[in-house]
Amino acid sequence: MTKTIAVSNTPFIKEDVVSEQLSAIDHELVPIETGDTDGIVEADPNAVILDVNTGVTAELVAQLDNLEIVARAGTGFDNVDVEACQDAGIPVVNVPGYSTNEVSTHAFSLLLACRRTLVEYDRDVKAEEWNWMPNRTFPRFYGSTLGIVSFGTIARRIAELTAGFDLDLVVYDPYVDQEVADEYDAEIVEFDELLERSDAVTIHAPLTDETHHMFDAEAFETMADHAIVVNVGRGGIIDEDALYDALVEREIFGAGLDVMEEEPPFGSKLLERDDVVLTPHAAWYSADSHQDLNETVSNDVLRALQGEDPENTVEPKGW
């Protein structure tokens, strides 16, 4: 019996790799435009392999008679109603760890680029302006305080990467205790204290009701005027209007954003700011991580379609 796999039609998912990994079974890949849930219903697949912009709701699950597994090609799964899938006996899998080094390195790169105003320097030199004295003074990075919001695998890698800079690490994560933080010489604090103490903040949390717009006008007012914020979690964690106002009013120094509330963010006022460094949700990417992602997610789909337990099943949880 041929197994039908609905696959988000995006370069993120490499159909040739998926098909090769599924070669042990008779299968057909059905490309679905990102976000097209009607296309998924029409395909009535045995499996779906989804990008971040295609949601799986309880209503969608109820319309699919043959669905055996939902596979999120990535780490975050906030676009999937995991509880609805579980109630229907359908496992949900993701791909944890495939880009830990990439995302942590990217976050650290954004952090340094913002702290050292590298993009602004680059623009000035290319405009034939040779001025080492910036319009805004900034403090030394070495020995400063780094705040980390959500202390999962990527954030812990950040802690390791910054070890040589003699930073004080403060962490806000309601789901991690001090014993874990001690392994990284970090201190668990409340959110307001993190904002008050940090010279820079990196965000790694998923988007939930709890984290939506947690960086709002009040949060930016609490931060030091030399502070920077880096977001490689989810765009909706930052209220972008509040961020724009905070930058205009010089309440914070700058921001490095790999994720935005609307992607692509064309038309956003933040594109006008020299004190914002933007990348196109690319923190996860390297040729190696791209390959690992596709092989791992495909292998879990294969296991499920062969009646075996997937390796990377996720559970509904907080952050």
Catalytic amino acids? 234, 263, 281
Q: Dihedral angle at the C-alpha atoms of 82, 83, 84, 90, nearest 10 degrees?
A: 60
Q: Which two tokens stand for residue 126?
A: 């290319």
DSSP 156-196: HHHHHHTGGGT-EEEEE-TT--HHHHHTTTEEE--HHHHHH
Asked if residue 193 lies in contact with residue 149, where contact means CB atoms within 8 angstroms, the answer is no
Q: Which two tokens stand for residue 21?
A: 């990994």
- Rounded CA gap, 275 and 115, in Å? 10
11 prior amide bond cis, ω within 30:
no
* 254-257/276-278 β-pairing: parallel
The DSSP H or E segment spanning 148 is strand 145-149
Tell me if residue 233 falls in helix, strand or coil.
coil
